[in-house]
């Protein structure tokens, strides 16, 4: 018996990092997964994980592509039970040097992508009586860090959007939560895990691994988390629990 037996899930950002790890864990737990990425690497994820994965190429910032991504799950597998909005990008720029190109590029993926996913995911789930959506924010959605203005704004807004959508959809049986990873070794963070001070952000004095976040996501996505919605869940090795 898997935690997600019979569930149909869409996972974005599935070509790398925590999205890819989530595809692996969700299939192990019995889900059928539509694995989504902009790069084509979703095909590699599908080949590696094997049966139970349907790769789809999609830019989550493009409304028509997001609508089609959700339609793939519904048309091919009959329903949508779980949506994981994992896709994201990060870049650094001082607020005093912010360009609107930089701002648009980050916000388009990290916020607009989540909003579009929720719009079409909620519509599909309302037709079948419920589901579970998990949005990926960050420790940067709970606190600030210099140089990360656009990313930090987007990740804070994801938390607000999660709360609003959770409130609006309780009556439809749709649970909507946000996960806030700490420092996790992925494509996004590659090379930074050995920098001075980075492992020490966690009380375990180490960085996190993608599957350690995916395992939490599988529980939050499952019916075992039936009374959990509107929750903001750090998976950060204790980073946000500390004063410094
Ligand atoms: N790695 C960390 O330390 C960390 C910490 C906090 C939050 N996060 C968040 O977790 C999520 C996953 O990050 P990760 O570390 O696994 O990153 P990653 O770079 O390893 O994977 C992100 C994936 O998203 C895809 N992607 C980017 N833009 C896209 C688009 N427009 N449409 C579809 N797919 C797109 C990329 O191709 C990539 O495969 C992100 O939202 C990120 O902001 C990461």
The reported pLDDT for the residue numbered 215 is 99
Q: Which of 136, 151, 183, 239 is catalytic?
A: 151
Mean pLDDT (whole number) for 33-41: 98
Among this protein's residues, is 151 annotated catalytic?
yes
Nearest CA to ligand 1 atom 25: 13
Mean pLDDT (whole number) for 235-239: 98
pTM of the model as a whole: 0.99
Is the pLDDT score of 192 beyond 90?
A: no
pLDDT > 90: percent of the chain: 97
The reported pLDDT for the residue numbered 211 is 98
The reported pLDDT for the residue numbered 19 is 99
Residue 194: pLDDT band by 50, 70, 90 thresholds? confident
The reported pLDDT for the residue numbered 2 is 98
User: Which atom of ligand 1 lies closest to the CA of 42?
Assistant: 39
- Residue range 218-229, pLDDT digits in tens: 999 999 999 999
Q: If you measure from the C-alpha of residue 75 to the centroid of ligand 1, how many angstroms do you get, rounded to a whole number?
A: 26
Q: If you measure from the C-alpha of residue 88 to the centroid of ligand 1, how many angstroms do you get, rounded to a whole number?
A: 4
Hey, what domains does the chain have and what are their CATH numbers? 8-183+209-241 (3.40.50.720)
* C-beta of 74 in contact with ligand 1 (< 6 A): no
Q: Which residues pair with 209 in a beta bridge?
A: 185
- Residue range 125-164, pLDDT digits in tens: 999 999 999 999 999 999 999 999 999 999 999 999 999 9
* C-beta of 60 in contact with ligand 1 (< 6 A): yes
Q: If you measure from the C-alpha of residue 135 to the centroid of ligand 1, how many angstroms do you get, rounded to a whole number?
A: 12
The reported pLDDT for the residue numbered 160 is 99
Q: In b/e form, how buried is each residue of 136-155, taking b as 16+ CB within 10 angstroms?
A: bbbbbbbeeeeebbbbbbbb
The reported pLDDT for the residue numbered 42 is 98
* C-beta of 186 in contact with ligand 1 (< 6 A): yes
User: Which atom of ligand 1 lies closest to the CA of 109?
Assistant: 31
Is the pLDDT score of 82 beyond 80?
A: yes
Mean pLDDT (whole number) for 74-102: 98
Q: If you measure from the C-alpha of residue 86 to the centroid of ligand 1, how many angstroms do you get, rounded to a whole number?
A: 6
């Amino acid at each position: 018996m898997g935690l997600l037996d019979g569930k149909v899930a869409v996972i974005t950002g599935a070509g790398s990092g925590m999205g890819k790890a989530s595809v692996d864990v969700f299939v192990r737990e019995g889900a059928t997964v539509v694995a989504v990425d902009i790069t084509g690497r979703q095909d590699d994820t599908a080949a590696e994980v094997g049966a139970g994965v349907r790769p789809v190429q999609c830019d989550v910032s493009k409304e028509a592509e997001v609508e089609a991504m959700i339609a793939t799950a519904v048309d091919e597998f009959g329903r949508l039970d779980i949506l994981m909005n994992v896709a994201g990008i990060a870049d650094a720029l001082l607020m005093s040097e912010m360009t609107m190109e930089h701002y648009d590029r980050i916000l388009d993926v990290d916020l607009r992508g989540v909003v579009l996913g929720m719009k079409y995911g909620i519509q599909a789930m309302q037709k079948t009586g419920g589901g579970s959506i998990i949005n990926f924010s960050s420790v940067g959605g709970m606190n600030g860090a210099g140089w990360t203005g656009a990313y930090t704004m987007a990740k804070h807004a994801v938390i607000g959007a999660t709360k609003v959508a959770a409130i609006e959809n309780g009556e439809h049986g749709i649970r909507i939560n946000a996960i806030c990873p700490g420092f996790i070794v992925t494509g996004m963070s590659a090379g930074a895990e050995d920098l001075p001070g980075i492992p020490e952000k966690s009380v375990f004095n180490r960085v996190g691994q993608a599957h350690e976040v995916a395992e939490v996501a599988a529980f939050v996505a499952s019916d075992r988390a039936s009374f959990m919605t509107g929750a903001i869940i750090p998976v950060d090795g204790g980073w946000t629990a500390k004063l410094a």
